[in-house]
């Protein structure tokens, strides 16, 4: 960013996640993750909700689960005080109302039960939706559930320009809704029809037929090749639907269907990248990196363990009187605060102070609430002397006094 002489040398909430993705896609083995350039959902492996809590979605391969997994989900929901447990449209279970500080714990418990992240929060492979296919359904033509599980186990963890959804339907009745997915498979008596570029949502788009293949192994190869072509050539935040419309179905067919050597090379590059991407949030490195840390140093002086006149600090919660009287609090080493990151400081009365550190080492403090809908500013992306709220992308200046920055500002 500095080499390109951009107007904001440390980037912004739009370009930094994009650059992080492009580097990850181009050099999966060499890429060094930059957590401060990811949206909070991707950093936390959970969906931030309007009240500042999170929802957690463990992965269920092809929508299939077991009594043991359901027990583990129930135990985790009870242990961490979930306020709602909901079945999703992607054939999974969403656990709502989890506090940020409990995310490492709940993921550790779910991981111990054999479940990994469902990536329901990220620009990544979300779900592979299936129907029961020929194993159970009297209309099923192929084992759609088995193929869906194989596809999901091949593709989970893959970061994409945008969210990516897959479905496998066991017959043309299309119960898994494969024709409104980014990649869809319709099983037929003679094989598998492969569809691309669909999506639901505001702008509904049905898929385009890519080709028909005879075997499940071919379906897997074509799926991997299409995903890698999309990963390498789409613009960040492009869904497959607008990307296919822009480059044209004929171009995708030429690269994935007609060029057999090119298809195999794309699939091989995807398989190589997956060696570095299939990581679950129950790993100790994730827990340490995202453990709650509530202190940085503003200036030497009063320490949390000190007892100032007429006031006592309780469990790291600092009374408002100390803030109002402008007493300096020594609340830990500044190294605990990452560049372009934030930590929070509890204050008596329930509100938090968010402490930010810029790329140049400056430190700022704000009430940890966006003036728009009270989103937790400490979870936003820090750039220059502003922070972008994680709920609705309001950009707030960290200089004295609340100030909303124009959202149209460019960083180039």
Helix (H, G, I), strand (E, B) or coil at 81: coil
**What is the band of 331 on the pLDDT scale with cuts at 50, 70, 90?**
low
Contact between 130 and 142 under an 8 Å Cβ cutoff? The reply is: no
Which domains, from first to last, does the chain contain?
A: 124-282 (3.30.413.10), 293-405 (2.102.10.10)
Q: Is the pLDDT of residue 129 over 80?
A: yes
> pLDDT per residue over 167-186, tens digit each?
999 999 999 999 999 999 99
- Of the pLDDT bands very low, low, confident and very high (cuts 50, 70, 90), residue 372 is confident
Q: How far apart are CA 206 and CA 229, in angstroms?
A: 20
Question: What CA–CA distance (Å, rounded) separates 50 from 403?
Answer: 21
Residue 347 has a pLDDT of 74
Mean pLDDT of 330-337: 74
Q: Is the pLDDT of residue 329 over 50?
A: yes
Task: Please report the beta strands in 88-179, taking only residues with DSSP state E, as ranges in sequence order.
Answer: 93-98, 125-130, 164-169
Model pTM? 0.82
What pLDDT is recorded for position 6?
67
* Element holding 41 (H helix, E strand): helix 40-44
Q: Are 128 and 152 in contact (CB under 8 A)?
A: yes
For the segment 274-324, what is each residue's pLDDT rounded down to a tens digit? 999 998 765 544 443 444 433 333 332 333 333 333 333 333 344 444 444
pLDDT digits (tens, 9 = 90+) for 94-123: 999 999 999 999 999 999 999 999 999 899
**Residues 44-58: tens digit of each pLDDT:** 899 999 999 999 999
Pick the range with the lowest mean pLDDT from 18-32, 69-83, 197-211, 315-329.
315-329
Under 8 Å CB-to-CB from 174, ≥6 apart: which residues?
Answer: 186
DSSP-derived letter for residue 319 is P
Residue 319 confidence (pLDDT): 44
Token pair for 2 = 């500095």
What SS3 string covers 278-294?
CCCCCCHHHHHHHCCCC
Supply 295's token pair: 């202190």
Provide the pLDDT for residue 302. Answer: 30
pLDDT of residue 282: 59
């Amino acid at each position: 960013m500095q080499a390109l002489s951009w107007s904001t040398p440390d980037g912004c909430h739009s370009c930094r996640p994009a650059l992080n993705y492009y580097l990850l896609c181009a050099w999966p083995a060499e890429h060094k993750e930059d957590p401060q350039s990811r949206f909070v959902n991707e950093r936390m492996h959970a969906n931030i909700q309007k009240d500042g809590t999170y929802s957690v979605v463990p992965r269920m391969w092809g929508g299939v689960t077991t009594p043991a997994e359901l027990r583990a989900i129930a135990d985790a929901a009870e242990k961490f005080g979930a306020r709602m447990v909901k079945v999703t449209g992607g054939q999974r279970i969403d656990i709502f109302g989890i506090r940020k500080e409990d995310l490492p714990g709940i993921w550790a418990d779910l991981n111990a039960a054999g479940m990994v992240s469902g990536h329901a929060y990220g620009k990544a492979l979300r779900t592979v939706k299936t129907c029961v296919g020929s194993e159970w359904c009297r209309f099923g033509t192929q084992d759609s559930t088995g193929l869906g599980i194989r596809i999901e186990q091949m593709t989970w963890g893959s970061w994409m320009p945008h969210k990516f959804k897959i479905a496998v339907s066991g017959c043309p009745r299309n119960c898994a809704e494969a024709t409104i997915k980014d990649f869809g498979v319709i099983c037929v008596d003679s094989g598998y029809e492969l569809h691309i570029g669909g999506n639901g949502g505001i702008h509904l788009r049905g898929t385009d037929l890519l080709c028909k293949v005879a075997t499940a192994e071919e379906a897997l190869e074509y799926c991997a090749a299409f995903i890698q072509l999309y990963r390498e050539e789409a613009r960040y935040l492009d869904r497959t639907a607008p990307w296919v419309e822009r480059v044209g179905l004929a171009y995708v067919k030429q690269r994935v269907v007609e060029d057999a050597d090119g298809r195999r090379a794309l699939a091989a590059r995807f398989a190589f990248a997956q060696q570095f991407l299939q990581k679950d949030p129950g790993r100790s490195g994730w827990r340490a990196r995202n453990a709650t840390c509530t202190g940085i140093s503003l200036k030497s002086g009063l320490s949390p363990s000190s007892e100032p006149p007429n006031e006592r600090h309780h469990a790291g919660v600092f009374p408002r009187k100390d803030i109002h009287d402008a007493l300096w609090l020594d609340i830990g080493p500044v190294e605990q605060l990452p560049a372009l990151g934030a930590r929070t400081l509890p204050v008596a009365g329930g509100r938090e102070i968010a402490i930010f550190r810029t790329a140049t080492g400056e430190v700022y403090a704000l009430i940890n609430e966006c003036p728009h809908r009270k989103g937790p500013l400490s979870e936003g992306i820090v750039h220059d002397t502003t922070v972008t709220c994680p709920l609705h992308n309001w950009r707030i200046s960290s200089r004295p006094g609340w100030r909303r920055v124009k959202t149209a500002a460019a960083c180039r």
